[in-house]
Amino acid sequence: MTASDVFTIEPWGLRESALELEHLARTESLFALSNGHVGVRGNLEEGEPSGLPGTYLNGVYERRPLPYAEAGYGFPEDGQTAINVTDGKIMRLLVDDEPFDVRYGELHAHERRIDFREGVLQREVEWTSPAGQQVLIRSWRLVSLTQRSVVALCLEVEVVGEEARVVVQSELVADEDLPVRGGDPRVAAALKEPLVHETGHAKGTGATLVHQTRASQLRIAAAMDHETECPQDVNIGTELNDNWARITFSTKLRAGETLRVVKYVTYGWSQQRTVPALRDQVAAAMAAARDSGWQGLVDEQRDYLRWFWERSDVEVDGDAELQQAVRFAMFHVLQAGARAEGRSIPAKGLTGPGYDGHCFWDTETFVLPVLTHTVPKAAADVLRWRHSTLPIARERAHQLGLEGAAFPWRTINGAECSAYWPAGTAAFHVNADIADALVRHLQATGDETLERDIGVELLIETARLWRSLGHHDRSGAFHIVGVTGPDEYSAIADDNVFTNLMARRNLRAAAEMVARHPRLAGSFDADHEEAAAWRDAAEAIVIPWDDELGVHPQSAAFTVYERWDFAATPDEAHPLFLHYPYFDLYRKQVVKQADLVLAIQRCGDAFTPEEKRRDFDYYEAITVRDSSLSACSQAVVAAEVGHLGLAYDYACEAAFMDLHDLGGNTADGLHMASLAGAWVALVEGLGGMRDEQRLKFTPQLPDGLDRLAFGLVRGDALLRVEVFPDRTRYQLVAGDHPVDLCHHGQDVRLSPGETVECSQERPPVVERPSQPPGREPIGRHSVTRRLS
């Protein structure tokens, strides 16, 4: 049975009509709730069975050793791993002494669903205990988007048959047992029971636990409190231990009677604040939550989401499955970023332990373009977080013998955690990715405060990195050698086109900042001389070109390399890095993920239309997409060069990544960049949106889609774009000033409230390029093929 068999296709929600125990970890990720500050996986309230219990606080990690058989100068010694914090989801149920466990007794019906307009995970269960007592169980759960410390649950138990004793044990549990992950016993040891008890108290229906992480010394407080509704008296018991607290509700219900327990959980953590301060913090959050009450929290949640969807909804007419998937995707991107506030957005959001909870370049490159155009404040918060790590990045640059700042390849707190140097240390493009996300955000929002607060300094420090990393050769050409580009099947390459083009943008943007803010730049010791050196380097940067083939080598000499023997590579040998040595992947023409194609997407002005077409076709034939960070970029460029059907297929692949578990690892958490990529593929791809000095669109619908509509925030303007096969309608939904945009090269001015309709022609049909055998996109009609 595949995941899709129990999931229904519906426009606004995700509904699972039966519980599949073998896919529990996967569905826990799909049903994860988060607000960017707190995240809880979709674990069953009763705690067991579970795939992977998970409650995460953004920024909370444990330190662990990074072992090396042969260490080297500058290799990071400590890693960071996001940990499962105190679990407040658990509400066990006993019916006449029989614990409710779906694996025992008889499960008549089990449904979980979430409506993306409401943000509440609901569950309905009909169950007969082994002793024959039948009950209806309903639960609701939310992680508040308006009160960022608050998780709230509501559990209702209705007795169907004879009178029964019903007991609900609601808990806080620290240091839960987790399945062992990874192979290194030292790492496993460092991460076993990372929480050390500090204090706890319990009284009546409430309890609080305060712990500290063993090595990283972060303090975490969790509190719970409850409200009950019941036609019968409810006895309440209170227990407290170092690592768990339990409030027990016990009653006797007759047929048709219901016990309802509402549980509020509040979280707080800090590196600096004391035990009393944190204890009081969660108590204050609890007071606010109880003040709102369950219904109040539910209402606030709905209001917040209404606000979000009104500005941001993407409508896809003609493909119900893609419609569902893109809303699922946007809902999770929102959940990951809404309230991150001063913290990163990890690659998996707060939905699972994958990638140790680290933040990569994914965040700025794939997630931020979506947030910048939908919830710009959330995007600004991420950029402010990056800026807050500048001291660590400066120190890292110094350690590497470079100027300016070197942001980490993977991190939680800003320190480099990558232990694999070719892909880690040498993947300097992350710095340009951050700078570019900032520049695009400033362009889209006109946020001058952000520009002054962080923009000037961040661009100056990253430009300094590039200037010191690169060098001029004898002829004056500026090279950046020995770096790893986006494609992780190449490493230690020279003059990677993506890296060089992005560095050029970075250098130029920094020079512009110095011109715009000379005094502020001066406070960072940057002057016009330094800016001139950046401009010179940008001007002289080398972009390799293979004249014979008429394509760009992804990096110098790349097109001279041997082509990977795709014909001899069996389907099951993907991802390749699990079946072939890196050294071999590195020295052959095989591309894990869009690299040159990403350069076309992000730095389109550096390519002629003909170059884009030829480059796209060339790389299409050698790109295996062993990364989830590829399909959306391929969709965007496919659409640009006229392969609309292919763009549509790639958009589907990006959107279905987790719903269909295309990577086979959704259990570890959702792929935020791929989910964001669904939006990118539709808005930048089929919508042809480019946000440069002004907004440009080249919308085109592939066969099979009747209409594509999306909202865009730009400055104080809110646009709505509706694409039909032959025309596009632009509406300025909100905003006081006219907006100039461009439709297929035609200038359009939108006045406030105005709607303008522009026509477009179908592009000429071009021959669809081929992919390596077996690596065709998981198109809209073939998704079941890859399901495990």
Cα R_g (the chain), whole angstroms? 27
Please say whether the dihedral angle defined by the alpha carbons of residues 120, 121, 125 and 130, taken in this order, is positive or negative: negative
Which of 106, 239, 562, 726 contacts a second copy by CB under 8 A? 562
SS3 61: strand
Give whichever of 46 and 615 is closer to a second copy, judged by the CB atom. Answer: 615
Buried/exposed code over 565-602 (b: 16+ C-beta within 10 A; e: otherwise): ebeebeeeebbbeeebebeebbebbbbbbbbbbbbbbb
Q: Is 71 in the site for a second copy (CB under 8 A)?
A: yes
Residues in the chain: 788
Which of 130, 132, 185, 664 contacts a second copy by CB under 8 A? 185
Give whichever of 587 and 785 is closer to a second copy, judged by the CB atom. Answer: 587
State the minimum distance, in angstroms, from the CB of residue 505 to a second copy: 22
* 488 is an active site residue: yes
Region binding a second copy by CB under 8 A among candidate stretches 98-106, 108-116, 145-153, 579-587: 579-587
Region binding a second copy by CB under 8 A among candidate stretches 64-72, 385-393, 524-532, 704-712: 64-72
Which of 162, 310, 448, 473 contacts a second copy by CB under 8 A? 473
Region binding a second copy by CB under 8 A among candidate stretches 6-14, 271-279, 559-567, 683-691: 559-567
The residue among 415, 414, 413, 418 whose CA lies nearest residue 61 is 413
> Which parts of 480-509 interact with a second copy (CB under 8 A)?
481-483, 491-492, 494
Give whichever of 69 and 567 is closer to a second copy, judged by the CB atom. Answer: 69
Q: Is 140 in the site for a second copy (CB under 8 A)?
A: no
Q: Is 1 in the site for a second copy (CB under 8 A)?
A: no
β-partners of residue 121 are 114, 141
Give whichever of 488 and 684 is closer to a second copy, judged by the CB atom. Answer: 488
Which of 39, 79, 352, 354 contacts a second copy by CB under 8 A? 79
Look up tokens 């994914």; give the residue.
362
Q: Which of 488, 620, 640, 653 is catalytic?
A: 488
Q: How far apart are CA 281 and CA 37, in angstroms?
A: 15
Q: How far apart are CA 365 and CA 613, in angstroms?
A: 23
Q: Is 72 in the site for a second copy (CB under 8 A)?
A: yes
Q: Is 69 in the site for a second copy (CB under 8 A)?
A: yes
Q: Is 73 in the site for a second copy (CB under 8 A)?
A: yes
Supply the DSSP symbol for 493: B
Q: Is 567 in the site for a second copy (CB under 8 A)?
A: no
Give whichever of 453 and 546 is closer to a second copy, judged by the CB atom. Answer: 546
Give whichever of 390 and 423 is closer to a second copy, judged by the CB atom. Answer: 423
State the minimum distance, in angstroms, from the CB of residue 408 to a second copy: 14
State the minimum distance, in angstroms, from the CB of residue 578 to a second copy: 6
Q: Which H or E run contains 183?
A: none
Please count the residues of this chain forming the interface with a second copy, following the rule CB under 8 A. 50
Q: How far apart are CA 206 and CA 224, in angstroms?
A: 5
Task: Tell me the backbone φ, ψ of residue 169, rounded to 5 degrees.
Answer: -105, 110
* Token pair in block for residue 579: 């079946």
Contact 131, 125 (CB under 8 A): no
Region binding a second copy by CB under 8 A among candidate stretches 17-25, 89-97, 184-192, 512-520: 184-192
Q: Are strands 695-697 and 746-750 parallel, antiparallel or unpaired?
A: unpaired
State the minimum distance, in angstroms, from the CB of residue 425 to a second copy: 5
CB atoms within 10 A of CB 603: 18
Q: Is 426 in the site for a second copy (CB under 8 A)?
A: yes
β-partners of residue 8 are 15
Q: How far apart are CA 466 and CA 540, in angstroms?
A: 13
β-partners of residue 758 are 728
Which of 111, 582, 707, 744 contacts a second copy by CB under 8 A? 582
Q: Is 399 in the site for a second copy (CB under 8 A)?
A: yes
Task: Please spell the DSSP secondary structure of 136-164, one letter per residue.
Answer: EEEEEEEE-SSSTTEEEEEEEEEE-SS-E
Under 8 Å CB-to-CB from 745, ≥6 apart: which residues? 698
Give whichever of 304 and 561 is closer to a second copy, judged by the CB atom. Answer: 561
**Sites of contact with a second copy (CB under 8 A):** 66-74, 79, 183-186, 399-401, 418-422, 425-426, 471, 473-474, 479, 481-483, 491-492, 494, 548, 556-557, 560-562, 577-584, 586-587
Active site residues: 488
